[in-house]
Amino acid sequence: MSAKSSPHAGRRALITGVTGQDGSYLSEFLIEQGYQVFGVVRRSSSENFERLEGVRERMTLLHADLLDQSSLNRAMAVAQPHEVYNLAAQSFVPTSWSEPVLTAQFTAIGVTRVLEAVRQMAPEARFYQASSSEMFGKVHETPQRESTPFHPRSPYGVAKAYGHYITVNYRESYGMHASSGILFNHESPRRGLEFVTRKITHGVARIATGHDKVLRLGNLDAKRDWGFAGDYVRAMWLMLQQDQPDDYVVATGETHTVEECCDVAFRRVGLDWRQHVQLDPAFVRPAEVDLLLGDASKAEAKLGWKPTVSFRQLIEMMVDADVAALEAKGAHKRS
Ligand code: NAP
Ligand code: GDD
C-alpha cells in the first residue's frame, strides 16, 4: 500500500528524541504508514541526524528542548499532532549517577513538560511515554509484568518511575489518552556505542578487523531481556491505536547474560571471547539490576504484538553491521 492510500494518511505524529535509536525506527515506521511526522530536535553545535538518513527529507524537524516549556508548547502548536511519542531522555544508566539532577530534569520532569504542552496545545492528541524495565530494578518477582512493584536501582530508574506515574496521573486527572510502554532492553545496529550490546558488537568488529585486541567490560553476570528496536516501535504505535489508554510490558520473554552476548558476538567472527574480554571495575555500577525478564502476554493478547527477532539473530545482525561498516571505512580510506 502506498503511503498516500494508507488509512493513516493525513495523520500527524510528533516524536521527541527523534535523533535517537527508537526515534529513527519509529519515524520510518510512521512515514511508511502515511503519517506526517514532526521530529523534535534540540540545538547542537554540530548536526547529529545520522540515524535519520533516508527519512530526513520526508519529515519536519522542530527545535525544542525538554528543559524548556515554551519551546515544547510551540512545537505542539505548530505540529497539531494526533499522536505524541515522548522518547527523549537522558537514557544511559551510568550517566544518571554522574549527572543525577540533569537526569531528573530531562527524564522525569521533562515528561510533565511534554504532557503540559499536550494538555494546553493539543488536548485531543494521544500520548505515549517511553517507560522502562529499569523501574523494576531489584525485582520483586520474575517474570516482571505490569503489576510488578517498582524498585528502581539508579537515578535513571527513579526518574523513569516518576515519568510513568505522571503519565498515569494525567490520564486519571484529565482523561487524556496517555499510555505507558514498559519496554525491556531493545537494541539494533543503531544502538548508542556505550550500551553493552553495541559496545560488544562494535568491539568484536574492531578486533576482527585488526583495529583492537581487547574489550573492557564490567559485570558479565547481569541478565537482560534483549529484543530488536524495530519490533518495539511497532508496539508503541499499537498502544496509541487502542480505544482505551493503558500500560503494557514489551519484552521477548527470554533472558541472557552479558557473557552469553559476548559468546554469540565473538563466535560470529570465529573468535573466543575469553581471549579478548578483560574485566574493568570502571564499568561496574554502584547498584546493579541483576535480572530482567519480561512477561509481555498482555501486549500479545490486547495489541496482537509479538517479537520477530531472536537474541542470536539480533546480536549477529549487529556484529555483521559493525564489521561491514568498519570494512567500508577501511576500503574508503584505501581508495
Ligand atoms: P537514545 O538513543 O539515547 O535517544 C535519546 C533521545 O533523547 C535522543 O534523540 C536525544 O537527543 C534526546 N534528548 C535527550 N535529552 C533531550 C532534551 N533535553 N531535549 C530534547 N531531546 C533530548 O534512546 P533510545 O534507546 O532511542 O530510547 C528512547 C526512549 O526509550 C528513552 O526515553 C529511553 O530512556 C527509553 N527506553 C529505552 C530502552 C532501550 O532499551 N533502548 C528501554 C526502555 C526505555 P540528542 O540526539 O540531541 O542527544
Ligand atoms: N553499558 C555497559 N558497559 N554495560 C555493561 C558493561 C559495559 O562495559 N559491562 C557490563 N555491563 C552490564 C551493565 O552493568 C548492565 O547490567 C547491562 O550490562 C546492560 O547495560 P546497558 O546496555 O548499559 O543497558 P541498561 O540495562 O543499563 O539500560 C538500558 O535498558 C533500559 C531498559 O531496561 C538503557 O537503554 C535504558 O535507557 C533502558 O531504560
Q: Are residues 43 and 64 in the same domain?
A: yes
221 lines ligand 2 (CB under 6 A): no
Active-site residue (options: 85, 156, 162, 232)? 156
- Cell triple for residue 5? 492510500
Residue 300 lies in a domain: no
Q: Are residues 20 and 123 in the same domain?
A: yes
Q: Which bound ligand lies closest to the C-alpha atom of 129?
A: 1
CA 70 to mean position of chain CA atoms: 25
232 lines ligand 2 (CB under 6 A): no
Residue 297 lies in a domain: no
Residue 1 lies in a domain: no
- The closest of 139, 293, 301 to 226, measured between CA atoms, is 293
134 is catalytic: yes
Atom 3, ligand 1: residue with shortest CA distance: 91
Neighbour-count burial of 92, counting CB atoms closer than 10 A to its CB (0-12 exposed, 13-18 middle, 19+ buried): middle
* Amino acid residing at 187: E
218 lines ligand 2 (CB under 6 A): yes
Whole-number Å distance, alpha carbon 95 to ligand 2 midpoint, is 11
Whole-number Å distance, alpha carbon 332 to ligand 1 midpoint, is 31
pLDDT score, position 184: 99
Question: How many separate domains does the chain show?
Answer: 2
Atom of ligand 2 nearest to the CA of 285: 14
pLDDT score, position 330: 81
Q: Are residues 72 and 200 in the same domain?
A: no
Residue 139 lies in a domain: yes
- DSSP-derived letter for residue 112 is H
Whole-number Å distance, alpha carbon 17 to ligand 2 midpoint, is 19
Out of 190, 196, 197, 201, give the residue to mutate to test ligand 2, the one with the largest number of ligand atoms within 8 Å of its CB: 196
20 lines ligand 1 (CB under 6 A): yes
Residue 33 · residue 8 · CB < 8 Å? yes
Whole-number Å distance, alpha carbon 21 to ligand 1 midpoint, is 7
Q: Are residues 45 and 163 in the same domain?
A: yes
Out of 150, 199, 224, 280, give the residue to mutate to test ligand 2, the one with the largest number of ligand atoms within 8 Å of its CB: 224
Rounded to an integer, what distance in angstroms lies between the CA atom of residue 185 and that of residue 94? 15
| Domain CATH code at residue 267 | 3.90.25.10
Residues in the chain with pLDDT values less than 70: 1-5, 331-335
The pTM score is 0.97
Q: Which alpha helices (H) appear in the chain, and where do they start and end? A: 21-32, 69-79, 95-98, 100-103, 110-121, 155-174, 196-208, 229-240, 258-268, 297-298, 311-334
Domain hosting residue 330, numbered range: 196-223+255-292+309-334
Q: Are residues 286 and 179 in the same domain?
A: no
- The closest of 9, 1, 159 to 86, measured between CA atoms, is 159
Whole-number Å distance, alpha carbon 20 to ligand 1 midpoint, is 5
Q: Are residues 260 and 124 in the same domain?
A: no
| Domain CATH code at residue 244 | 3.40.50.720
Q: Are residues 152 and 275 in the same domain?
A: no
Atom 5, ligand 2: residue with shortest CA distance: 196
Atom of ligand 2 nearest to the CA of 219: 10
Q: Are residues 233 and 284 in the same domain?
A: no
Whole-number Å distance, alpha carbon 5 to ligand 1 midpoint, is 32
Out of 138, 195, 255, give the residue to mutate to test ligand 2, the one with the largest number of ligand atoms within 8 Å of its CB: 195
Residue 219 lies in a domain: yes
Q: Which alpha helices (H) appear in 143-292, and where do they start and end? A: 155-174, 196-208, 229-240, 258-268
132 is catalytic: yes
19 lines ligand 1 (CB under 6 A): yes
Q: Are residues 152 and 279 in the same domain?
A: no
